[in-house]
Amino acid sequence: MNSEILGVDNVLFAVGDFKQARDFYSNRVGLEMKFEFEQIGLIGFRLGAEEPGLLVRVQDVPEKAPDPASARLWVEVADARASGARLIEAGLEPIAEVREINSGWVIEFADPWGNVVGLTDYVKQPERGRRRP
């Protein structure tokens, strides 16, 4: 690659059903929708205050369990344990129990098509995390 990478533009997940994906990511995970184009099967969700977002696009994808080797999208939150507990209380099943990592904690959830979203924090290394106002 000859060009300098300026940052992440978007992360894309393939999903099998438009309305089910919109419900999962909006109502269950709690992501804010940026846009939706039902006619082409595309929904954009905000991932914090930065421009990069999560795009989900309807394709012929069957529902499945997450693959342990699949790629993951991890988003930074202030407290992964508390945020994960709220999602569990809302009825989402984590892939595994919250676990400690070098910088803090992480917990992962999968959508009905096996795409994995993790919540991670920097409570043990706050100097590496995003600055909060």
Beta-carbon count within 10 A of 132 CB: 6
100: which strand partners? Answer: 105
Is residue 28 in a domain? yes
Q: Establish if 47 belongs to a structural domain.
A: yes
CATH number at residue 119: 3.10.180.10
Q: Which amino acid is at 5?
A: I
Domain count, the chain: 1
Residues composing the chain: 133
Average pLDDT, the chain: 91
On whether residue 83 sits in a domain, the answer given is: yes
Tell me the pLDDT band of 2, cut-offs 50, 70 and 90: low
Residue-wise pLDDT for 40-63, tens only, equals 999 999 998 888 899 999 999 888
Flag whether 56 is in a domain: yes
Domain with 107 in it: 10-128
